[in-house]
Amino acid sequence: MKTAKLFTVVLLGLAFVFTSCKKYEDGPAVSLLPKKARLTGTWTPVKSIDGDGSVSEYSDEEVNMVFKKDGTYINRITPIMFEGKWEFNGDKTKIILSNTGTLQIGKEQTILRLTNNELWLKDGDTETHYEKVK
């Protein structure tokens, strides 16, 4: 009898976990990797969607973002390269970028999707989809 009650409690707990709200609008419901581990790596843009719905496809492999575990990043738009620091905001729904060059830019981007292989960021009215470079 106690086993049946315990099983029921565990089953209800799992149902709550799998039906609770996701952190990101288009993100996975459950992930075993922490957000920092999923973000760390080299990302290349695949497409951008503007606020009016127009889509721009990327095919240039010389454009990428590299997020490092130590909280630094490199944004390459060959021949230009921006370097700086990145961090999550308090509830980890946004990435805050600050560059270390002569032109100081602080930028905050909303995370729409963050999986091990996909990163979707929204900056103003523009949504950019990235794929992780293997």
The Cα 100–Cα 42 span in angstroms is 19
Calpha distance 126→74 (Å, rounded): 20
pTM value is: 0.74
- 13, containing H or E segment: helix 2-19
pLDDT tens string 111-134: 999 999 999 999 999 999 999 997
Number of Cα atoms under 13 Å in the Cβ half of residue 116: 5
How many Cβ atoms sit within 10 Å of the Cβ of residue 82? Answer: 17
pLDDT tens, residue by residue, 26-49: 455 555 789 999 999 999 999 999
What the chain holds in terms of domains, given with CATH numbers, is 24-132 (2.40.128.280)
User: Is residue 79 very low, low, confident or very high in pLDDT (cuts 50, 70, 90)?
Assistant: confident
Assigned token pair, 5? 């009650």
Beta-strand (E) ranges in the chain?
Answer: 41-49, 55-57, 63-67, 72-77, 80-88, 94-99, 106-114, 118-123, 126-132
